[in-house]
């Protein structure tokens, strides 16, 4: 295995997640709720969220696999809570 020069990006690990909420409004509400939580170590993990056609898309990048796993796992926990809230109280939106 060759040495990796320092000039290459430090963001070696990445993962993508897409959740279809079925409506732009629901996806935007979840986006707004989750966007306020910034990464605790922005020098080690980046997260980019977008909403399009009722889907929330999230792209993660990290310097190490353990940071990617921790960030992804924490995000899914709060995403699950937000999704359950939409399911419980979002009936009026339909």
Tell me how far apart the alpha carbons of residues 20 and 6 are, in angstroms, rounded to a whole number: 38
Grouping H, G, I as helix, E, B as strand and the rest as coil, residue 38 is coil
Q: pTM (2 decimals)?
A: 0.81
The predicted-structure confidence for 6-55, as pLDDT tens digits, reads as follows 444 678 999 999 999 999 999 999 999 999 988 888 999 999 999 999 99
| Locus of tokens 């056609």 | 53
Fold classification of 17-88 is TATA-Binding Protein (3.30.310)
């Amino acid at each position: 295995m060759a040495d990796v020069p320092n000039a290459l990006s430090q963001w070696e690990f990445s993962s993508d997640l897409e959740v279809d909420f079925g409506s732009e409004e629901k996806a935007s509400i979840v986006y707004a709720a989750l966007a306020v939580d910034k990464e605790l170590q922005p020098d080690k993990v980046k997260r980019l969220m977008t909403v399009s056609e009722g889907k929330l898309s999230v792209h993660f990048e990290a310097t190490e696999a353990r940071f990617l796993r921790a960030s992804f796992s924490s995000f899914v926990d709060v995403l699950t809570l937000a999704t359950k809230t939409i399911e419980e109280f979002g009936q009026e939106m339909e």
